[in-house]
Amino acid sequence: MNTPIERLHTALETLGLKAVEARLENLLEQASKKEPSYADFLDELLNCEVEARRTRYMRAKLQLAHLPFVKTFEQFDFGFQPSIDERQIRELRSLRFIHEASNVIFLGPPGVGKTHLSVALAEAAIRSAMGVYFITAHDLATDLGRAYREGRLDRRMRIYVAPKVLVIDEVGYLPLDDLGTTIFFQLVSARYERGSIILTSNKSYGDWGSIFGDSIIATAILDRLLHHSTTINIRGESYRLKERRKAGLVPAREQERAASNSLASDSVPPKTRQKTALGSTASEAKEASL
Ligand code: ADP
Ligand code: MG
């Protein structure tokens, strides 16, 4: 004859209540010590399973989103990057921009936390049960370029149009060819006023012509991207460099060069008729390019 504990293990396993099963002895021991009410005991038991499921759900969603790492706002040292307006970050953390299908663009030299902050926003969106997809600009162009050549661009495009939030990292590290540029424009147009894009770039808007090989299409892309958007321009030192310097691995002159390499372009105020830095406001650029 099985003991009650053995029968409980069997039942919990059959029901798929793995978290409770793993902690069964512990929960029972605690209960016999604390003598909670029946309701409190049941509450604790079920909460244990609910929490475990929530964690599993988040892990699965994070995996589906293809985040390169998980970093949060709590892990970001704002004191190290005084050029970031924390009020702007607080506003973004409310995730209102996602409900408004508005975009967020992080500009700045390498190592200043562009990807970290993008991932932190993505993580917060996933926590609020929103669909998120993360990809680098280069991988995006490669993937959609292949789909185009194989005659399945429309279907493949859905992966990048469907999520509420699309993170496009490292725009500008590598120039895009004509096909990549056309596809990028199509994607930005398809998401325009429908879903948010969080984008990072090491290039100020004035240099986007060199990414897309053509200032007219760069203007048309910026026009749609910036119409409803917030730009966070980070002009600081690389955090990686700081860590290497702390370890005594970086000579002083390299530090100075890295600091002076920070972006020269102006910060763009959120939700205004923004300068595209290609010499015209967003709506003027639209007229010029279409
Ligand atoms: P970028 O995308 O601008 O090149 P990352 O976001 O990849 O830079 O940052 C490089 C590394 O430094 C990451 O591990 C990131 O978590 C860390 N990092 C950058 N800035 C900060 C910061 N202000 N506080 C804490 N960690 C930071
Ligand atoms: Mg990065």
Q: CB-side exposure of 182: number of CA atoms within 13 Å?
A: 6
CA 169 to ligand 1: nearest atom: 2
Which token pair is 229? Answer: 């958007």
In angstroms, rounded to a whole number, what is the distance separating the alpha carbons of residues 190 and 140? 15
pTM of the full structure:
0.80
For residue 117, the CA-to-ligand 1 centroid distance in Å is 8
Of ligand 1's listed atoms, the one at least distance from the Cα of 77 is 24
Q: Atom of ligand 1 at shortest distance to CA of 110?
A: 4
Measured by CA distance, the residue closest to atom 7 of ligand 1 is 115
190 backbone φψ class: left, alpha, beta (φ>0; ψ -120 to 50): alpha
Determine the pLDDT at residue 52.
95
Structure tokens at 60: 């699965």
**Could you read off the pLDDT of 265-285 as tens digits, one per residue?**
433 433 333 433 343 333 333
Arithmetic mean of pLDDT, 260-265: 44
The side-by-side arrangement of strands in the sheet containing 165-171 is 132-136, 165-171, 196-201, 103-107, 229-233
Could you read off the pLDDT of 195-218 as tens digits, one per residue? 999 999 999 999 999 999 989 999
Position 2 scores a pLDDT of 87
Predicted pLDDT of residue 64: 95
Q: Report pLDDT for 252.
A: 53
Any idea which ligand is nearest the CA of 262?
1
* Calpha distance 70→85 (Å, rounded): 22
Exposure pattern of 119-154 as b/e (b: 16+ CB <10 Å)? Answer: bbbbbbbbeeebebbbbbbbebbeebbebbeeeeee
Q: pLDDT tens digits, residue range 22-49?
A: 999 999 999 999 999 999 999 999 999 9
Instruction: Work out the pLDDT band at 17, boundaries 50, 70, 90.
Output: very high
For residue 251, what pLDDT is reported? Answer: 61
In one-letter notation, the amino acid at residue 34 is K
What is the spatial distance between Cα 29 and Cα 123, in angstroms, rounded to a whole number? 36
Each residue's pLDDT tens digit, 79-125: 999 999 999 999 999 999 999 999 999 999 999 999 999 999 999 99
Looking at residue 278, its pLDDT comes to: 40
- pLDDT for 243 equals 77
Give the ligand with the smallest distance to the CA of 112: 1
pLDDT recorded at residue 268: 40
Question: pLDDT tens across 153-201, in order?
Answer: 999 999 999 999 999 999 999 999 999 999 999 999 999 999 999 999 9
Structure tokens at 88: 């702007």
Distance in angstroms (rounded) separating the CA atoms of residues 133 and 61: 10
Please choose from 69, 239, 243, 263 the residue to mutate so as to test ligand 1's pocket, defined by most ligand atoms within 8 A of CB. 239
Please determine, for residue 263, whether its predicted confidence score (pLDDT) is greater than 70.
no
Gap between the Cα atoms of 193 and 214, Å rounded: 24
The separation between the first and the last C-alpha atoms of the chain, rounded to the nearest angstrom, is: 81
Which residues contact residue 37 at a Cβ distance below 8 angstroms, ignoring those fewer than 6 apart?
A: none
Q: pLDDT digits over 238-258, tens only?
A: 998 887 777 777 665 454 455
Q: Which pLDDT score, from 0 to 100, does residue 1 have?
A: 64
Cα(238) to centroid(ligand 1), Å:
8
CB 101 within 8 A of CB 32: no
Residue 137: nearest ligand to its CA? 2
Pick the atom of ligand 1 nearest to 240's CA.
12
Q: What is the model's pLDDT at position 91?
A: 97
**Average pLDDT over the chain, rounded to an integer:** 87
Ligand 1 site: residues with CB under 6 angstroms?
71, 75-77, 80-81, 108, 110-116, 200, 239-240
Going along the chain from its start, the domains and CATH numbers come out as: 4-63 (no CATH), 66-289 (3.40.50.300)
